[in-house]
Amino acid sequence: MTERDSVDAVIVGAGFSGLYQLYRLRELGLTTRVFEAGDGVGGTWYWNRYPGARCDIQSLSYSYSFSPELEQEWDWTEKYPTQPEVLRYLNHVAERFDLLPHITFSTRVVSAHWDDNARCWAVSTDSGESVTAQFVIMATGALSAPKLPEIPGIERFRGRTHHTARWGKDEVRFDGLRVAVIGTGSSGIQTIPLIAEQAADLTVFQRTANFSTPAGNRPLGPAEVAEMKSSYPAWRAAQRTSFSGVPAELPTQLALSVPEAEREATYEAGWAKGEIVSLVSCFADILFDPAANETAAEFARAKIRAVVDDPDVAEMLSPRSHPIGTKRPCLDTGYYETFNRPNVHLVDLRETPIVEFTNAGLRTTDAEYDFEAIVFATGFDAMTGALNAIDIRGRDDLALADEWHAGPRTYLGIAVAGFPNLFTITGPLSPSVLSNMVVSIEQHVEWVAECIAFMRAHGYSAIEPTAEAEAQWVQHVAELGALTLFPTADSWYTGANVPGKARVFLPYFGGVGTYRQTCDDVAAGGYQGFTLTPAGQPAPA
Ligand code: FAD
Ligand code: NAP
């Protein structure tokens, strides 16, 4: 067996999570291999190359904090960087820290089976490679398993098709074409204005109208970048203890406790900031009280009516089926304005659902449409999709996908009972997608590295949560979610976007700072809620 066949750790995925995990494990002296399905690093920023793709957390926050040198040498150019800029950054990180030699690209991990006798994982890939490893770290991404619409006949369509999350590397142009975009989540809302500028004719198929705020994107001046670079240490410390991974003062006032004029002025000020939390962070009760929420929702709808010329189109674009903030809010550049263009049309799929795709386009219950290109902006099987796509077997041949049939069960969103030495970076039931994800990624990666260092220092060969600790965590996360309006929405946060998926509110809503403290306390208490098996002893049944 060579060093490549048997390593200390396998990491699956080479996005923000996998790259940093590799860096930390290498620092510990572990032999580590990373497998990545794409042919380059970047994860989200490698795959989502659609026109208009960019970050919606400000660049100076959405970046690694682990290396002060990296912080100082990298110059972000925009408030919200484009996909190419974030991808350049991650390529720079991979090269700067000499990570590339440890990564096997264009290789998908298809299975990971725990061997209780050998106390290690057997990992197999789609290229036929098999590797054993004491630890497996799933850095597979919360939003990395794209989903197509569940509508018959996609294979019949003879024109071009593109999924926003599987965009090719070559430039895709739509000049002179009749184009359809299906989906109006963050990806659709970012790409529709740019496709509309090229296409002869664009039809947007909308199932659920979403709330979106103008991003107010702009170049960053050198003085602003210099100022941020000088305040990084304090800023990063504040990120770590914040609620969402972005330092911000939390509101204390209730929406209905202030006079209407003051409320509107507060929303105007929030709107002007151009952030995903522009409106939901204006008052303390927006995500808890339906009446408070409605004041923010109506403010947003009035903004849509003020921009969109045709009142019927404005009404179609006005979300009414979910409270604001309970589906991931969107940031845009010229989204609503796009519907004033003569070449852009909107079809409400709640009124007239798509029945099937045809050779030439698609058919709704109302009409047949011909297109030369269809863009699927139909999202992801979020949080569990990439994990369940791998045949993961724990002790006693337990299949993770079966264990999670009624919804994912984890302890702290980072480990699973019955699956020793397996860690899930930003896994389900952790803050993950409710936060600035880079902050949550760094926290998980560091926790995992420290856990492994602890095991090595104390002679443990396996770690696994107890079923009791896991059950309590699952209940705690569900109880926190139930205090909010999130579970009322048909969103990917609840798995409702994937037919047949268990309906569970998947992220932890207690805040990044509180969560970090909980994880730190668990570790400081000798990994409370985990069973640690000393090397040489049989694993607990
Ligand atoms: P990913 O970047 O998803 O990387 C996971 C990698 O694992 C992928 O490259 C995938 O190919 C690989 N992989 C998965 N399964 C396997 C397998 N079986 N074998 C081999 N390789 C595998 N978050 C924010 O906080 N702010 C933002 O502004 C923001 N913008 C986003 C924009 C888009 C378009 C999308 C889709 C997501 C955005 N997110 C944002 C969330 C984003 O996913 C995270 O911020 C972050 O990039 C996730 O990094 P990751 O390494 O955990 O996962
Ligand atoms: P999404 O938010 O899930 O949106 C998918 C869209 O496709 C929704 O409008 C959905 O309608 C529609 N859809 C799905 N299946 C359909 C079907 N069968 N028929 C008709 N319509 C269908 O996915 P996304 O836009 O790719 O974004 C996912 C997440 O990635 C975001 O929420 C965000 O966290 C992240 N992201 C961030 C940015 C950014 O700005 N930084 C950009 C892109 C993505 P329903 O709502 O009715 O399900």
Backbone angles phi, psi at 143, to 5 degrees: -135, 65
166 in ligand 1 pocket by Cβ < 6 Å? no
150 in ligand 2 pocket by Cβ < 6 Å? yes
On whether the CB atoms of residues 504 and 407 are closer than 8 A, the answer is: yes
CA distance 106 to 6: 20
Nearest CA to ligand 2 atom 40: 56
Q: Please report where in the chains the tokens 């490698």 appear, as a residue.
A: 46
On whether the CB atoms of residues 340 and 309 are closer than 8 A, the answer is: yes
Give the number of C-alpha atoms closer than 13 A to the C-alpha of residue 298, restricted to the C-beta side: 10
Its sign, for the CA torsion 325, 330, 333, 339, is negative
Nearest CA to ligand 2 atom 20: 207
The predicted-structure confidence for 132-170, as pLDDT tens digits, reads as follows 999 999 999 999 999 999 999 999 999 999 999 999 999
pLDDT at 508: 98
For residue 92, the tally of other CB atoms under 10 A from its CB is 14
354 CA distance to ligand 1 middle (Å) = 29
Backbone angles phi, psi at 14, to 5 degrees: -130, 45
* ∠ CA 527-464-502, rounded to 5°: 115
Three-state secondary structure call for residue 368: strand
DSSP per-residue letters across 272-291: HH--TTTTTTSSTTTTT-HH
Residue 340: CB partners within 8 Å, gap ≥ 6?
307, 308, 309, 310
495 in ligand 1 pocket by Cβ < 6 Å? no
168 CA distance to ligand 2 middle (Å) = 19
Amino acid at 205: F
Residue 99: CB partners within 8 Å, gap ≥ 6?
19, 22, 23, 26, 34, 41, 93
Of 184, 188, 190, 181, nearest to 80 by C-alpha is: 190
Three-state secondary structure call for residue 135: strand
Atom of ligand 2 nearest to the CA of 433: 34
CA distance 157 to 177: 15
Q: Please report where in the chains the tokens 């997608």 appear, as a residue.
A: 433
Three-state secondary structure call for residue 361: strand
50 in ligand 2 pocket by Cβ < 6 Å? no
On whether the CB atoms of residues 273 and 280 are closer than 8 A, the answer is: no
20 in ligand 1 pocket by Cβ < 6 Å? no
476 CA distance to ligand 1 middle (Å) = 26
pLDDT at 115: 96
pLDDT at 1: 56
Which of 63, 86, 186, 381 maximizes ligand 2 atoms within 8 Å of its Cβ, making it the mutation to test the pocket?
A: 186
Output the six-digit token pair for 441. Answer: 């990624």
Amino acid at 29: G
Output the six-digit token pair for 241. Answer: 């203890």
527 CA distance to ligand 2 middle (Å) = 37
On whether the CB atoms of residues 19 and 99 are closer than 8 A, the answer is: yes
Query: What sections of 215-310 are H helices per DSSP?
Result: 222-241, 260-273, 290-307
For residue 124, the tally of other CB atoms under 10 A from its CB is 17
Q: Does the reported pTM lie above 0.95?
A: yes
Nearest CA to ligand 2 atom 43: 187
Atom of ligand 2 nearest to the CA of 208: 47
CA distance 363 to 373: 15
Q: Please report where in the chains the tokens 């209730």 appear, as a residue.
A: 254
55 in ligand 2 pocket by Cβ < 6 Å? yes
215 in ligand 1 pocket by Cβ < 6 Å? no
Ligand nearest to the CA of 63: 1
On whether the CB atoms of residues 323 and 489 are closer than 8 A, the answer is: yes
331 in ligand 2 pocket by Cβ < 6 Å? yes
Nearest CA to ligand 2 atom 29: 186
Residue 43: CB partners within 8 Å, gap ≥ 6?
13, 14, 15, 16, 17, 18, 90, 141, 144
59 in ligand 2 pocket by Cβ < 6 Å? no
Output the six-digit token pair for 78. Answer: 């925009």
pLDDT at 537: 73
Three-state secondary structure call for residue 380: strand
- The residue ranges of the chain whose pLDDT is under 70 are 1-4, 538-541
Atom of ligand 1 nearest to the CA of 441: 52
529 CA distance to ligand 2 middle (Å) = 36
CA distances from 154 to 148, 187, 359, 387, 417 (A): 9, 20, 9, 26, 39
β-sheet bridge partners, residue 121 = 114, 133
Its sign, for the CA torsion 124, 21, 477, 463, is positive
Q: Please report where in the chains the tokens 């019955």 appear, as a residue.
A: 418
Backbone angles phi, psi at 428, to 5 degrees: -60, 140
Nearest CA to ligand 1 atom 51: 15
Buried b (16+ CB within 10 A) or exposed e, 366-402: eeebebbbbbbbbbbbbbbbbbbbbebbbbeeeebee
Atom of ligand 1 nearest to the CA of 143: 43
Residue 56: CB partners within 8 Å, gap ≥ 6?
80, 186, 215, 276, 330, 331
140 in ligand 1 pocket by Cβ < 6 Å? yes
Nearest CA to ligand 2 atom 24: 379
380 in ligand 2 pocket by Cβ < 6 Å? yes
For residue 461, the tally of other CB atoms under 10 A from its CB is 18
Which of 49, 50, 103, 140 maximizes ligand 1 atoms within 8 Å of its Cβ, making it the mutation to test the pocket?
A: 140
